[in-house]
């Protein structure tokens, strides 16, 4: 089926979305705009959940429900996040040769507002063309960029669909079927303060100990399945005081649960081997979970739906194992089978971010085929 896509309407939706401020925990204005948009379609309902009490956002996650016109088909959901990474206030979209950028002093916000625009235009296509489709649910989450907070606070028991797609990756015709689990590394090293000029012999420098620890930790790419990083260090009070406390923050990611356990144990050994032999020095080390792994097997029914859509469009899709985490990791951990679709955004999380209208349209064609094939 050849669809008549209203390209300028799609471009208008995208531009409007990008120019609505929605930093993490401040998505209420955007959520209200989306409710007003979807509420005009017959039978479509919108609900804001109660996750704001958990996340601290000024709104909850927004769930849009579209009744199926082919109810025998498997219900599906589509997910996008409403928040945008900083700097994202006062975005002004520049369009040149059907490529969208910001003016250069903010991000553009195609991550993830291109995905939202796709779902808006797809809804128009479904109703205007009376296309048969299964029950559909759109899940617009809050505070994804600052810790996947909306997804973590989401209660999936109210959803009809148990499988779906997150529109939130670079590239087009990409399907992310694997992503690592991740844990934070939260460490504190305690030495002993002393005056650096009067009695340095009585001090135990937590910073010096931290340096020795960091030099012994494996960071970067640990193996073909795992990475690690120490990204934040804080400590000390003055140049003339031997520092008694240092805090380290980092992360470990792995596609393998066994390797994750191995690397956590190795981190613990490095801390213990260096700190315990120093009299009166101590440390604490914790590994809070960031998100679980995403791993979809080739026989996952969701991927059969994806492949049927690709065949109907005459396309080949790339099935990819990625290195990042997203709402999709959380949803899979909650029992919602979720793959991630590339939507064509480039140079995300920077003021050089861009996306082409052609990429948005190509993903729109795929999501519509998924919903109607």
Active site residue 144: yes
User: Between the CA of residue 82 and those of 3, 56, 368, what are the distances in Å?
Assistant: 27, 15, 21
Distance CA 212, CA 203 (A): 17
Q: How far is CA 349 from the centre of its chain?
A: 12
Query: Would you give the end-to-end CA distance of the chain in angstroms?
Result: 10
Extract the tokens encoding 133: 């489709």
* Pair type for strands 337-341 and 174-179: antiparallel
* Pair type for strands 136-141 and 76-81: parallel
Measured at the alpha carbon of residue 121, what is the angle toward residues 87 and 22, in degrees to the nearest 5?
20
DSSP structure class, residue 75: P
Q: What are phi and psi of 176, to 5 degrees?
A: -85, 120
User: Between the CA of residue 25 and those of 146, 288, 312, what are the distances in Å?
Assistant: 9, 22, 39
Q: What are phi and psi of 302, to 5 degrees?
A: -60, -35
DSSP structure class, residue 87: S
Extract the tokens encoding 192: 């002993």
Q: How far is CA 183 from the centre of its chain?
A: 15
Extract the tokens encoding 99: 């490529």
The residue annotated as part of the active site, out of 83, 111, 353, 365, is 83
Residue 177, strand partner residues: none
Tell the residue number behind the tokens 């109810």, with chain if given. 71
The residue annotated as part of the active site, out of 137, 144, 145, 188, is 144
Active site residue 83: yes
Cβ neighbours of 273 (radius 10 Å): 12
Extract the tokens encoding 260: 């994750």
Positions annotated as catalytic residues are 83, 144
């Amino acid at each position: 089926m050849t669809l008549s896509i209203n390209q300028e309407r799609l471009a208008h939706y995208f531009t409007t979305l990008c120019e609505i401020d929605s930093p993490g925990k401040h998505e209420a204005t955007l959520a209200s705009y989306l409710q007003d948009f979807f509420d005009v379609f017959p039978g479509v309902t919108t609900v804001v959940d109660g996750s704001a009490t958990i996340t601290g956002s000024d709104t909850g996650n927004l769930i849009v429900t579209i009744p199926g016109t082919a109810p025998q088909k498997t219900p599906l959901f589509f997910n996008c996040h409403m928040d945008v990474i900083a700097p994202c206030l006062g975005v002004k979209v520049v369009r040149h040769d059907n490529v969208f950028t910001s003016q250069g002093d903010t991000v553009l916000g195609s991550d993830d507002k291109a995905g939202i625009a796709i779902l808006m235009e797809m809804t128009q296509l479904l109703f205007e063309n009376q296309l048969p489709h299964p029950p559909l649910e759109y899940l617009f989450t809050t505070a994804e960029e600052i810790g996947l907070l909306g997804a973590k606070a989401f209660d999936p028991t109210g959803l009809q669909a148990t499988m779906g797609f997150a529109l939130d990756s670079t590239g087009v015709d990409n399907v992310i079927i694997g992503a690592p689990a991740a844990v934070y590394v939260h460490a504190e090293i305690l030495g002993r303060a002393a005056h650096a000029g009067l009695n340095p012999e009585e001090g135990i420098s937590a910073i010096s100990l931290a340096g020795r620890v960091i030099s012994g930790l494996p960071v970067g790419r640990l193996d073909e399945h795992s990475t690690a990083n120490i990204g934040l260090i804080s400590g000390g009070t003055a140049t003339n005081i031997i520092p008694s406390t240092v805090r380290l923050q980092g992360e470990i990611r792995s596609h393998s649960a066994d390797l994750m356990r191995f690397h956590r144990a190795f981190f613990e050994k490095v801390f213990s081997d260096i700190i315990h032999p120093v009299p009166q020095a101590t440390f604490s080390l914790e590994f809070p979970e960031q998100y679980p792994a995403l791993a979809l097997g080739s026989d996952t029914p969701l991927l059969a739906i994806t492949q049927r859509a690709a065949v109907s469009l005459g396309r080949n899709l790339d099935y990819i194992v990625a290195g990042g985490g997203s709402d999709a990791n959380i949803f899979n951990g909650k029992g919602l089978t979720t793959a991630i679709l590339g939507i064509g955004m480039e140079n995300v999380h920077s003021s050089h971010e861009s996306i082409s209208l052609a990429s948005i349209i190509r993903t729109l064609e795929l999501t519509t085929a998924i919903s109607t094939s």
